[in-house]
Amino acid sequence: MNIFLLSTKNNRCSRANYSLPLYFLLLLMFFLPSSVSAQQLYHPVSFRKALKAGTRTETGLPGNNYWQNKADYDLDIHFNPSDRLINGHEIITYYNNSNDTLRKIVFRIYPDFYKKGVLRDYALNPQDETNGLSIDKMFVGKDSLNLANEALIEHFGTLLNVFTTVLPNSKVDISVDWHYILNKGSHMRTGAIDESSFFIAYCYPRIAVYDDIEGWDESEYLGTLEPYADFGNFKLAVTVPENFMVWSTGELVNPEQVLQLNIYKKWLFAQKSNLMDIISEDDIRAKKVTASNAWNTFRFNATDVPDVAFAVSDHYIWNGGSVTTKDKTRNIFVSAAFNPEHKDYREVSSFAKQCIQLMSSFMPGIDYPYPQLTIVDGLDQMEFPMIINDNPLDNRIETIELVVHEVYHTLFPFYTGCNQTRYAWMDEGWATLSEWIVSPKLDTTIVDDYGMPRMLRASGNEWDVPVIYPSTEWHRSYSNNAYAKPGFALRFLREMITPDKFNKCIQHFVEVWKGKHPTPWDYFYCFNAAAGTNLNWYWKAWFYDDGEADTGIESVKPKGNNLEVTMILKGNKPVPLYINLYGEKGLIKSFYKSADIWHNANGKVTFSLPDNMLYNYMEVKHIMVPDIDPSDNGKIIAR
């Protein structure tokens, strides 16, 4: 977010090689042939080509010819907080698992977002503009690259093309030395938090995704759209001065070398204990946190993740503890690192721990897949694998909602690697739904209407484009299409097919696509299979069609012992009906009709409700059902 299980490590980034449980094969055999023929979803040319090539299918499963490239990174980063200088060295092993001969390698240079003269979605404070990232040295294989040779190097915006040849089903080793100055202000997911605290993300040159849908992902990083990245294994070494602690994606593998003995012992204990302060205010005041060396190198390892990020501070409390997975096979270390002045952060690690438990037991019934999670007191609201950059908040309820939203991003886009640059709704819609459904489990007073104002504000305008359009083309409709609209679509779908079946759909999708790159059509067809029904009509209405959420009451008539109700769907988006019947003393009875009531209804439905003769007014309304014109949502019952 940036606005306000299951584990198979074999063949993750090469050709598909797995077997499906019999349950899902039966679903595919008995449900899909008839349902797909009933109503087809339109496929863009890129997906049609993937179907023809056998890398994708209309069952939701990867095709037999599915392939995926991969890059492993060995990162050695030296950071000096006094001048914010980052010096880095990396060795990349890039695997071209495709049948294509690559004539170039596309690098993403994210720090160039702050470079003078580049395009951006947001204006920066001029004093935060820099010279960008400087590459000091690069080797491709054993060949040193002449960085001044325009025939070999093309650098524009946040992209760098290196013209070289990578043969099909081969690998190449690349070495890069670089440096840049971390931004102090204009914090966009990365930068200085205060004078001696920093959240450092996107700090290394990385290889862009080359996939079976679009080839090279050459969309520029302009600020709004979040990165799309290949999976890989990361080794990260971060060297900082004495007294500075480092938190990162991955597992800390040398704690005994970089922590004071007392801190190390508390860290060990916290791996299997309830929440506790590993670094306390007393430890900070005494400067008894890190090893007594002029510089310390913190080493982290992360397996099968799309990115790494880290945070650095010399005055942050560290509170953490353990949560056990549902199957009792492993412990997950959950923690928060924060400024002691920010009192709301005292509960953040507890909220995160509860989220992980609910992810496993409640929705969607999948264990948190990584060994640890750290939430860092920062200046943004942005998720990364195993580490989150969240600003402090004065409102406890908003803190809960934010934690839930970011923790649930773990499954999408990290564990299941959807393209959040091109299909932002696949991860943000999920996180929005999770915030709505899970937050009240942490605090029963929460009624979360996040997204409703933007939904009502955007719906029906000429720039309210269908969600299926790539998010690179949304522009003004980004916020609504990424968060609110897909969130409502998923919420109403969950109600319609039941929460248990919705969980099974998510579980199936994650099982099939974990560690891979699913598209919207893979998502839709996985749901069809796991739900055992054709949902194409619903996908079409919410994701393909123009229109808005708007219902109205046409008539309410007493008829024998019943009320005959006729409702019209004016805005094309199938929504549930929350029907309230009132008498002279107020609300008497409520009824619910799921969004499925509009399936094959041609925009109008008539149904009966039991009439107890005391009703004199009917209203169709709910805090979490958008309706852009509520003027016809109430009707006097004439008797």
Q: 250 — phi, psi (to 5°)?
A: 95, -175
Predicted confidence at residue 14, as pLDDT, reads 32
Residue 529 has pLDDT above 60, yes or no: yes
Residue 112 CB partners (closer than 8 Å, separation 6+): 118, 132, 133, 157, 158
Distance, CA of 581 to CA of 601 (rounded, Å): 23
Kindly report which listed range (167-181, 393-407, 449-463) carries the lowest average pLDDT score.
449-463
| Global pTM value | 0.92
Q: What is the structure's pLDDT at 1?
A: 57
Contacts of 105 (CB under 8 A, 6+ apart): 94, 140, 161, 162, 164, 166, 172, 174, 207
CB neighbours of residue 70 within 10 Å: 20
* pLDDT in the model for residue 327: 81
- Position 222, amino acid: L
Task: List, for residues 203-256, the tens digit of each pLDDT value.
Answer: 999 999 999 999 999 999 999 999 999 999 999 999 999 999 999 999 999 999
Tens digit of pLDDT for each residue in 599-623? Answer: 999 999 999 999 988 999 999 999 9
Return the structure tokens found at 590: 């409520």
Task: Return the pLDDT at 147.
Answer: 79
Q: 50 near 213, Cβ under 8 Å?
A: yes
- The answer to whether 67 and 98 have CB atoms below 8 angstroms apart is yes
CA 81 from centre of chain:
30
In whole angstroms, give the CA distance from residue 101 to residue 96: 9
For 45-80, the pLDDT digits (tens) are 999 999 999 999 999 999 999 999 999 999 999 999
3-class SS at 162? strand
Task: Specify the residue for token string 């598909």.
Answer: 16
Assess contact for 446 and 397: CB atoms under 8 A. yes
Contact indicator for 495, 595 with CB cutoff of 8 Å: yes
Lowest model confidence (mean pLDDT) among 57-71, 140-154, 352-366: 140-154
Query: Which pLDDT band holds residue 117 (cuts at 50, 70, 90)?
Result: very high
pLDDT of residue 16: 34
DSSP H or E stretch at residue 373: strand 372-377
CA-CA distance, 426 to 40, in Å (whole number)?
20
* The predicted structure's pLDDT at residue 8: 31
What is residue 283's three-state secondary structure? helix
Pairing mode, strands 617-620 and 372-377: unpaired
DSSP assignment, residue 381? Answer: E
Residues whose CB is less than 8 angstroms from the CB of residue 282 and which lie 6 or more positions away in sequence, other chains included: none
List Cα–Cα distances, 422 to 84, 213, 219, in angstroms.
32, 11, 9
Side chain identity at residue 292, one-letter code: S
Q: Are strands 134-140 and 143-144 parallel, antiparallel or unpaired?
A: antiparallel
Mean per-residue pLDDT of the chain = 93
CA distances for 5 relative to 178, 429, 441, 507, angstroms:
38, 22, 22, 9
Share of the chain above pLDDT 70, in %: 94
Residue 38 pLDDT level (bands cut at 50, 70, 90): low
Q: Do 393 and 403 meet the contact criterion of CB atoms below 8 Å apart?
A: no
pLDDT at 329: 87
**For residue 206, which of 107, 77, 68, 305 has the smallest C-alpha distance?**
107
